[in-house]
Structure 1
């Protein structure tokens, strides 16, 4: 695997409208590359929810959602076994994709970041970083700048501005990341599940 990362500006990724017309999705990355919505091992997306809508079930998939912008939404399963108010920006929320959910907007449209992994094959660790850190090894690593500007230093030096991301498909080289002043960055580490 190449140690050179893929670079994205999430705002420039072509949005795909939902079939129900309630929002759009921008697919940031998927593994294996080119996998469809039902055949992926892992998938990273940005969603813009414009009105109350159902969330499709993804049996066998573990999900993590992070509010990026807007007042957020309430996620609820039929019967209320899962009832979560996603209204704190940059606070990852993990849940099973097995059960369909309804999303009710709190106060207008919102944008959220999504990570999905196939249970038993991959695991996802999603954290918010606000100070300098060094990357720990993972099979896939994504850095998404959410606030401020971040300097990513390794074999080369890169600057990330809000909504820009770097993705390594394979363990990254020795890399450190630090905010220019203050900022927030989402760190996604995907690993093959070796427990089974």
Structure 2
């Protein structure tokens, strides 16, 4: 079940990466690269840090899913863009799942709670950062005006706290994922933004 949810999250993240490629007027190769990096980048970074073989290099599904998302966006990107509110819901779910699972994997591997939280956030937003760097945008992690990294950080923190309290398993993962998901949806719904430095105004 976890792998199925993982692939769903990868698919949604890949859609967002491919759409960035469309907006940047990239060809199909560029779209596929951005889709794959967005979907798999965070998990690959996490696994490399944990010194384990990334799933993307031995599971066919992790390669096929981003490519399928690229094909969908390539032919039907206007339709995908119109259903983005729905895609954003799944994107928030992927964010919650990735930050919780990433944190749990780090804790199981023996990292401290603090470092596990950092790795959970890396899992959730690392692909997006790589996507933004490749497409010439300010990475969302450095300019969290979409309130994206903060929900991942809080979800990862809850996962670490529950683990320290000896609350493991899918219920703990679900609780942390739901928290991050809820915060992300609330941010979209109520236009929540991370604060800027005092006296600094947001650009247009």
Q: Same fold (TM over 0.5)?
A: no
In proportion to residue count, which structure has more helix?
A: 2
Instruction: Give the TM-score taking structure 1 as reference length.
Output: 0.31
Instruction: Give the TM-score taking structure 2 as reference length.
Output: 0.30
